[in-house]
Amino acid sequence: MARPRFLAALTGLLASIAALASPAAAQDDLTATFDSTFGTQARDPQSFDAVYASTFEQRIADLANPALGRIGVAAVDLATGEEVMVLGDQLFPMASTSKVAIAATYLEMVEQGRFTLTSEFPLMLPVPSARFSTAKAPVRAGQYMPAIDLIELMITRSSNPATDALLAAVGGPQAVNSWVQRKGLAPFSINRDIATLVRDDGEYNPANFIDTRDAATPRAMVRLLAGLYRGEYLSEQSRQVILGAMSRTVTGKRRIPANIPLEARVSHKTGSLSNTSSDIGIIECPDGRVIAVAIYATGQGGKLAREERIAAIARAVYDGFAVKAQQNPTRNWASAPYATGG
């Protein structure tokens, strides 16, 4: 959708709301106008799956209600292959969750002998510039650091200069997209470096506009996590580098880890941009089960509300799969740390 069309439609939407005196009438008009502008699929998670098969799925759908902004969820129990999704095939801004794929791309090059974990690259520090003034935001080289330290910074603390250092080293966004495509993980697209993404943030409102740039679906991100955990994409050493860093993440304490029992282990990567917050991760349960989950929240009234929604959905996913496990008590969960979905 072209931006002028989007802005005109949004202006009409706001005018329609303001013209209504009755709250019920306002909601009806809002729904009708939103659907005519963006389509029902952007508003209603049930549009791609009209009837949820269980109370577990319905609980996730209720928590991911898009009335205050789109929320995408995908989760899979790696021991059974059972999954739950809400808008799982709709694009959401990856923000810094894309850093997992950037690290994986670099680590594959290490396995190919093109780099090592001790290869050094300079931090790419942003240089002030006006929004949209250039196709790529200017950066300057900073301190040189070993790749293993750059990966630690970009995952655990979501360092943008560290990320852009490795992104430049691997050959830019197109190299990451190539790695993702070879693994069959689509839709997924990185179009800008992080410096440019951050500088030009806010061009569109992700709560009601789907920008295909720097975006992926929750389902694609869960498949990325599952493949990394199972060792399908990288060697054991590379797998441990990524998952180890994700287990030490210090950002997003109010997101996936917030409501998960302490006896479970959470390895995750957060993402944040204008009006959007996200978290993707692996939850290793005390009984040996492993859950891969990706949650993308937009709108909701503010960052704290988005984080609370992410935390609530993550706990509902954890509890829901636990109930399913209890319904199948013969499965020896602890015997399959690299479960293959059988």
Instruction: Quote the Cα angle for 153-156-159, to 5°.
Output: 40
What pLDDT score was predicted for residue 329?
58
The reply to whether 11 and 102 lie within a common domain is no
Q: What percent of the chain has pLDDT over 70?
A: 80
CATH number, position 268: 3.40.710.10
Task: Tell whether 8 is covered by a domain.
Answer: yes
| Same domain for 159 and 74 | yes
Task: Say how far apart CA 220 and CA 337 lie, in whole Å.
Answer: 22
Residue 121 lies in a domain: yes
pLDDT digits (tens, 9 = 90+) for 207-266: 999 999 999 999 999 999 999 999 999 999 999 999 999 999 999 999 999 999 999 999
Residues 207 and 59 in one domain: yes
Q: For residue 24, what pLDDT is reported?
A: 41
pLDDT at 54: 67
Judge whether 239 lies within some domain: yes
Is the same domain home to 84 and 205? yes
Q: pTM, whole model, 2 decimals?
A: 0.82
In this structure, the answer to whether residues 5 and 59 fall within a common structural domain is: no
Residues 63 and 5 occupy one common structural domain: no
110 and 175 inside one domain: yes
pLDDT on residue 14: 39
In 3D space, the residue among 253, 271, 248, 250 whose CA is nearest the CA of residue 311 turns out to be 253
Q: Is the pLDDT of residue 3 over 90?
A: no
pLDDT score, position 324: 83
Average pLDDT for the chain: 85
Question: Which residues face 71 on adjacent strands?
Answer: 297
Q: Where in the sequence is the domain holding 31, given as residue range(s)?
A: 1-38
Each residue of 110-132: pLDDT tens digit? 999 999 999 999 999 999 999 99
139 and 32 in a common domain: no
Q: Tell whether 25 and 73 lie within a shared domain.
A: no
Residue 27, both tokens:
């909601």
State the residue for tokens 């959007």.
276
Domain assignment present for residue 47? The answer is no
- 318 and 212 co-located in one domain: yes
pLDDT category at 338 given cuts 50, 70, 90 is: very low
The two tokens of residue 243 are: 């998952």
pLDDT-derived band at 339 (thresholds 50, 70, 90) equals very low
Mean pLDDT of 302-322: 96
Question: What pLDDT, on a 0 to 100 scale, did the predictor assign at position 144?
Answer: 98
Residue 46, domain member (yes or no)? no
pLDDT of res. 327? 76
In a domain, 44, yes or no: no
27 with 61, same domain: the answer is no
Task: Indicate whether 342 belongs to any domain.
Answer: no
Candidates 214, 219, 217, 195; CA nearest to 204 is: 214
Same domain, yes or no, for 267 and 317? yes
Residue 298 has what pLDDT? 97
pLDDT in tens, 30-74: 344 444 444 445 545 444 344 445 688 899 999 998 889 999 999
Q: What is the pLDDT of residue 57?
A: 87
Residue 336 has pLDDT above 90, yes or no: no
On the question of a cis peptide bond just before residue 187, with omega within 30 degrees of 0, the verdict is yes
Say if 341 falls within a structural domain. no
Q: Is the predicted pLDDT of residue 9 greater than 50, yes or no? A: no
pLDDT reported for residue 291: 97
Taking phi over 0 as left and psi of -120 to 50 as alpha, with beta for the rest, 39 belongs to left
Confidence of residue 325 (pLDDT cuts 50, 70, 90): confident
Number of domains composing the chain:
2
